[in-house]
Copies of this chain bind each other. A is one copy, B any other.
Amino acid sequence: MQAAEWARDITDILHGQDEQGALERLARLQPFDRAQVLAHMEPQDRLRLVRSMPVPLAAETLEYLEPETQYRILDHLDEPRAAALLQGMSSDTVVDLLLALHPLQAARLKAWLPPAYRERIDTLMTFPENTAGSLATIEYIAAREGWTVQQALDHVRKVGHDAEVVSYVYVVDARGRLVRVASLRELILADPHAPLTSVGRADVITVRATADREEAARLLTDYDFVALPVVDDQHRLLGIITIDDIVDVIHREATEDIQRLGGSVPLAESYFKTPVPMLFRKRVGWLLTLFIAGAYTSTVLHHFEGLLAQVVGLTFFIPLLIGTGGNTGSQTVATLVRALAVGEVTFRDMLRVLAREVATGALLGAVMAAAALIRAYMLGVGHQLGPVVAVTALFIVVWASMVSAVLPLLLHRLRVDPAVVSGPFISTLVDGTGLFIYFSVARALLNLS
């Protein structure tokens, strides 16, 4: 909104041949806003401004743009400037950009980086997308074991401009192993002449580069850190994960879980960036699977055709009873999938969860049985079918509670994302089994065969 207006204003200034004025307006903005403004401008205007911006300012702005926009800009600049910008960007952004590009484009950009930096980027690029290593950035401040507090602070002053986070100084030994961490606050509050090893703490909370990114998120949020060091198997410091990247991870994981729970494969892009054929592809698989799984409802109904012909009234309650089962399952699954995701529940809680859900299901089932009974009388078939639908409602609700208590935990145990046990999945499962319960109860209570 505001960014679009600013973009118009700045474009007007630029077109009025006051490039300096336009640059000054831009420079006053926050980096995020500046990026938004550039994203709203015409490519040639945007390029003209990026060409004239001081390199640190331009690099900082580029950080907030999408990889495709970053590439389009870098691709149109002359090589020394593009190389300077790329080196000015933080390493995790560079990694994301390189991974988003065609390998040939990526190779061209990488050639602009100094060899030592390129090597570290290559290491970070080897970690698969869901690992802690994939989130790491190398712009941290490292200090040597033998230094004093003053030496460390001088070092912060010297390299602090390029660091992502200056809140912590990581102390490494001669082999690059992380031996200590001190916060900037601790350094400032300490005696400048004290040895660095007297400040901060030696038992540093770290995450392995190969660990799941959710593990990193859990550590950062539990301990309220703003950055978490990432180490390799030899405890050598590879990089740090900053809290803002973790916030993105938490957002993304929640989005994926919600889309899975809705019965769709998670979208890789935001909603409007996903074209209709892709929306179709993400949904059709599950929809067809559920259709095929649900097809046996027809078999059950076909099997009980005689019963249905004898007592036509039974048909009236089919959608209502199986729908209630599906709804119950959907409630339970959503609660448990989330509890699993945030680590409140694990597989070892199975029996406890089952007991709780069966108890809750029994209470809910009793209420739904009463509702079903009332509904049968309202339809004028209460005398004949009331007991059948009431007993069925109770059984179906308890059954749905059991299924949806066990399945998410089981899948979590099998390392399948439990969110694939979506509401639609449980509904479909309960539809067929629910019908079977219904007709069995009907047969027993109505003394039919």
> Residues of A with Cβ closer than 8 Å to B?
28, 30-32, 153, 156-157, 160-161, 163, 166-167, 184-185, 188-189, 203, 205, 220-224, 226, 243-244, 246-248, 250-251, 254-255, 257-259, 261-264, 267, 270-272, 276-277, 279-280, 283-284, 286-288, 290-292, 294-295, 297-299, 301-302, 305, 308-309, 312, 315-320, 322-324, 326-328, 330-339, 342, 344-345, 349, 352, 356, 359-360, 363-364, 367-368, 371-372, 375, 379, 422-424, 427-428, 431-432, 435
Contact = CB atoms under 8 A, between A and B. Distances in A.
Contacts of A30: 203, 205, 223
A439 to B, nearest CB: 12
A319 B301 contact: yes
B331 A264 contact: yes
A226 B243 contact: yes
A270 B339 contact: yes
B367 A284 contact: yes
Q: Per DSSP, are chain A's interface residues mostly helix, strand or loop, or mixed? A: helix
Contact of A335 (B153, B160, B222, B271): B271
A50 to B, nearest CB: 20
B371 A291 contact: yes
B335 A435 contact: no
Closest 7 CB pairs of A and B: A262-B334, A254-B254, A423-B423, A297-B319, A271-B339, A327-B424, A224-B244
Nearest to A270: B344
Contacts of A185: 160, 163, 166
Contacts of A280: 360, 363-364
B336 A271 contact: yes
A345 B272 contact: yes
Copies per complex of this chain: 2
B243 A327 contact: no
A372 to B, nearest CB: 8
Given A221-B247, A271-B336, 15 more contacts: A31-B223, A167-B167, A254-B257, A262-B330, A263-B327, A263-B331, A271-B344, A272-B352, A279-B360, A286-B327, A298-B320, A298-B379, A315-B315, A323-B427, A423-B427
B32 A223 contact: yes
Which of A259, A315, A372 has the most chain B CB within a 10 Å cutoff? A315
A448 to B, nearest CB: 16
Contacts of A364: 280, 283-284, 287
B263 A345 contact: no
Contacts of A352: 272
Contacts of A322: 319
Contact of A356 (B254, B276, B435): B276
17 contacts: A30-B205, A160-B185, A221-B244, A250-B251, A255-B342, A258-B258, A259-B334, A259-B338, A262-B423, A271-B339, A272-B345, A290-B324, A290-B327, A292-B371, A315-B318, A331-B424, A423-B423
A146 to B, nearest CB: 22
A32 B224 contact: yes
Contacts of A161: 189
A322 B428 CA distance: 11
Nearest to A277: B363
Given A188-B160, A287-B324, A367-B288, A335 B251 contact: no
Given A280-B360, A330-B422, A259 B335 contact: yes
A188 B166 CA distance: 10
A391 B179 CA distance: 69
Given A184-B184, A271-B344, A272-B344, A335 B264 contact: yes
B263 A330 contact: yes
A5 to B, nearest CB: 16
